[in-house]
Amino acid sequence: MFNVEDIRKDFPILSRQVNGKPLVYFDNAATSQTPQQVIDVIVDYYSNYNANIHRGVHALSQEATDKYEQARHIIQKHFNARFAHEIIFTSGTTHSINLVANGFSSILNKGDEIIVSALEHHSNIVPWQMLCERTGAILKVIPMNQEGELIMSEYDKLISNNTKLVFVNHISNALGTINPIEYIIEKAHQVGAAVLIDGAQACPHLKPDVQALDVDFYVASAHKMCGPTGEGMLYGKEAWLKKLPPYQGGGEMIAEVTFEKTTYAELPHKFEAGTPNICGGIAFGAAIDYMNAIGFDAISKYEHELLEYATQKLLEIEGLKIYGTSKNKTSVISFNLKGIHPYDVGTILDKMGIAVRTGHHCAQPIMDYYKIPGTVRASFAFYNTKTEIDSLVAAVKKARLMLS
């Protein structure tokens, strides 16, 4: 049974105070908090078996290697990848996207087309612009509507035999919209284009099945799903990962090195040059185990309740406008108070112990679309409560009175 009060006991940070008030942490889309079970795994690693992996004959190295590879299997199972070697450890979503974009430099030709969406995080825009500069490929953008949804009839018009790649986020970080990725993938495959889905914001809320989606690449960050920062993953279909060249050269990614020629290691090591974030990978596995023990059905059901409750309560505030009103969204609310800068609202909320993010959320094109400098974004996780939402609503009311 899902019991939020029990769950909150797992997160030591949730009982601290900020500015003399109990912390209300509503910046989960930026990074999630870490349960004791994951903290324990990190402490255990450094206390008991810290060693470099895949190279030592000694016991500690073997132990660390086993735990690291076990984590890869946990991630494989979670995402339902066919093979463990289709899971590449990276430092996070940004690294994963850059790895794929770099690989496509040697595949794309001048005039090939890449499709992204109007709802992307900068990390899913800039690497593709850089790729276009290197290759002469052309970037096309699926537009959005006022509700913050992608316009699929426009996507249908953009896609053609020139389309080689499609990159879309599963869920928008700035608005919370859940994008119709099944449709996007199917359409792209009809013209032989590859698809990368940025799952950074989806993985904290749902459990993607990469085989059912038939997606070519799927990427995520551990720190948004109760794991550590500086850790993430790239799923790629085996055939694609074999085709792409390595991203970085160095130790651990080679089969043989001479000054005349180097041959590369098999997957997944071909993409994992140098000493990785060993503890981070192991803790990522522990975070996934933790979330699965609670269960993604229970998590998404509860978070949806929080979303509905907060939406209703916030909309009762005069002059408050919510950006991103799709029926299909997760527990992210981006809003502004009429005539008041989002940064000022965020500053007052902080004084009351409430952590939100303000600004463009690394999604400037969305802000340009709405002709606003940014929003206040409250993003809820499964360990948040309705009482905390009441505190947010009261604080926003107070901020409105102080600033208008």
Catalog residues that contact ligand 7TS under the rule CB under 6 A: 29-30, 92-94, 121, 123-124, 169, 173, 198, 200-201, 221, 357, 361-362
Nearest-angstrom CA–CA distance, 122 and 332 = 18
Characterize the bridge pairing of strands 138-142 and 113-117: parallel
Smallest separation (angstroms) from ligand 7TS to the CB of 97: 7
Q: Cβ 111 to ligand 7TS, closest distance in Å?
A: 28
Contact present, 343 and 165 (Cβ < 8 Å):
no
Nearest to 278 by CA among 12, 19, 37, 60: 60
Asked whether 114 and 167 are in contact (CB, 8 A), the reply is: yes
Q: Nearest CA to 35 among 358, 335, 292, 332?
A: 292
Residue 49 or residue 167: which is nearer to ligand 7TS going by CB?
A: 167
In the complex, least distance from residue 78 CB atom to ligand 7TS, rounded to whole angstroms: 17
Report the C-alpha gap between 142 and 154 in whole angstroms. 6
Residue 92 or 103: which CB sits closer to ligand 7TS? 92
Residue closer to ligand 7TS, measured from CB, 23 or 355: 355
Angle at CA 139, nearest 5°, toward 136 and 143? 170
Closer CB to ligand 7TS, residue 64 or residue 345? Answer: 345
Q: Which is nearer to ligand 7TS, 175 or 393 (CB)?
A: 175
| Shortest Å distance, C-beta 152 to ligand 7TS | 19
Q: How far is the CB of 101 from ligand 7TS (least distance, A)?
A: 13
Closest separation in Å from C-beta 247 to ligand 7TS: 15
User: Residues in the chain, how many?
Assistant: 404
Q: How far is CA 369 from CA 209, 267, 342, 374, in A?
A: 32, 41, 17, 11
Report in angstroms how near the CB of residue 362 gets to ligand 7TS at its nearest.
6
Cα Rg of the chain, angstroms = 22
Tokens 């502004």 locate to 336
Min. distance of Cβ 168 from ligand 7TS in angstroms?
10
| The token pair that represents 210 in the structure block | 């990469």
Structure tokens at 59: 């016991």
Give the nearer residue to ligand 7TS in terms of CB position, either 198 or 272: 198
Find, among 202, 172, 201, 196, the residue nearest to 184 by Cα.
196
Q: In this chain, which residue has its C-beta nearest to ligand 7TS? A: 173
Nearer to ligand 7TS among residue 33 and residue 65 (C-beta): 33
DSSP-based three-state secondary structure for 25: strand
- Marked catalytic residue, from 132, 203, 226, 362: 362
C-beta of 310 vs 332, nearer to ligand 7TS: 332
Q: Which of 204, 199, 146 minimizes the C-alpha distance to 379?
A: 204
Distance CA 354, CA 325 (A): 23
Measured between alpha carbons, how far is 360 from 166 in angstroms, rounded to an integer?
Answer: 24
Q: What DSSP letter does each residue of 98-124 carry, written as one string?
A: HHHHHHHTTT--TT-EEEEETT--GGG
Distance CA 148, CA 296 (A): 25
203 is catalytic: no
Query: Which pair of tokens denotes residue 321?
Result: 């406008």
Give catalytic residue positions. Answer: 362
